[in-house]
Amino acid sequence: MAINKLVTPVVKWVGGKRQIINQIVKYIPKSFSTYYEPFLGGGAVLFELQPKTAVVNDINAELINLYEVIKNNVNELIDDLKQHRNDETYFYELRELDRNKEYYNHLTPIQRASRLIYLNKTCYNGLFRVNKAGQFNTPFGNYKNPNIVNEYTLKAVSSYFNKAQITFTCKDFNEALKGARKGAFVYLDPPYDPVSDSASFTGYDKGGFDQSEQIRLKNACDKLNEKGIKFLLSNSATDFIKDLYKDYKIEIIQAKRVINSKADKRGEIDEVLVMNFE
């Protein structure tokens, strides 16, 4: 299946890999059977590789709904997106919809997907963040001309989803990996271990992802390794992570952090790529 350069992320996501995709693909095996990605997020690696067969997962149900709508109802989604206004009052009205669960649950999958894209394109710094109640809480971005309706990209992604054999799931990462067999390849991009007490990458889902979750993920990597399944994992280059994966091959790369509420905190930081193969 030919690579389509128009197939790129449709949302900006915390920890997205577009900035370092060239560094990541250098370490991905040339051939594998099924591609697994249990922390899909913005999907930069999936869209770069465009594998023929993939099982992709995210614990964020709204994000998985978005991808399913792009696959099955892209034209209806585009039509709905065209109705949105880049207006602060309108933004907060739409943002508040998830405060009323009874009303929110009556929105169609297309309306929910359209809302997610709109908020992502018009909120401050493109930061998808929810509070502990699972409510979107990023403020309005005040952008002059945000690209709310990226029609070419949406249609290209929809075309790829329909040509390939893509399975979308919304589960715990362990559950999402249960079907993996030798010959498959797994790319893991979990919420990162915070580089400081004030840093956090866990606001994309109300559940959070603390060090006990990082340990649970490492145990999942050990099981993949025991099965002879190749994996590649991204994370921050903290002492905790480097020690946790000390039995595996670790490469340090430079990544540019582009999402931070403070401009002086953006810039190049060390990240790790962990793998169980040469």
Q: Tens digit of pLDDT for each residue in 5-58?
A: 999 999 998 888 888 999 999 999 999 999 999 999 999 999 999 999 999 999
Query: For residue 260, what are its two tokens?
Result: 């931070």
Residue 206 pLDDT greater than 70, yes or no: no
CB-based contacts of 59: which residues, under 8 Å, 6+ apart?
Answer: 39, 170, 171, 172, 173, 205, 207
Instruction: Specify the pTM.
Output: 0.92
Neighbours of 170 (CB within 10 A): 17
- 185 vs 33: CA distance, rounded Å: 7
CB-based contacts of 250: which residues, under 8 Å, 6+ apart?
Answer: 242, 272, 273, 274
Give the per-residue pLDDT at 188: 98
Q: Comparing 51-60, 82-91, 123-132, 261-270, which segment has the lowest mean pLDDT?
A: 261-270
Which position has the token pair 């009556």? 106
Residue 194, classified by CB atoms within 10 Å of its CB into exposed (0-12), middle (13-18) or buried (19+), is: middle
Q: 144-178: per-residue pLDDT in tens?
A: 999 999 999 999 999 999 999 999 999 999 999 99
Mean predicted confidence (pLDDT) in 49-71: 97
Torsion of CA 65, 142, 101, 57, to 10 degrees: 20
Query: For residue 189, what are its two tokens?
Result: 């991009």
Mean predicted confidence (pLDDT) in 224-235: 98
Rg (CA), the chain: 18
Mean pLDDT of the chain: 92
Q: 111-142: per-residue pLDDT in tens?
A: 999 999 999 999 999 888 888 888 899 999 99
b/e 53-76 (16+ beta carbons within 10 angstroms → b): ebbbbbbbebbbbbbbbbbebbeb
What does 220-274 look like in DSSP terms, one character per residue? HHHHHHHTT-EEEEEEE--HHHHHHTTTSEEEEEEEEE---SSGGG-EEEEEEEE
Give the per-residue pLDDT at 13: 87
Cα dist. 6→44, 101, 147, 209 in Å?
A: 12, 36, 15, 32
Cα dist. 244→172, 217, 274 in Å?
A: 21, 10, 10
Residue 14, classified by CB atoms within 10 Å of its CB into exposed (0-12), middle (13-18) or buried (19+), is: buried
On whether the CB atoms of residues 166 and 54 are closer than 8 A, the answer is yes
Q: Hey, CA dihedral for 109, 160, 35, 254, is it positive or negative?
A: negative
Q: Comparing 86-100, 203-217, 244-258, which segment has the lowest mean pLDDT?
A: 203-217
Percent of the chain beyond pLDDT 90?
A: 79
Give the per-residue pLDDT at 208: 72
- 100 vs 103: CA distance, rounded Å: 5
Q: Which domains does the chain have, with CATH numbers?
A: 18-59+173-275 (3.40.50.150), 68-151 (1.10.1020.10)
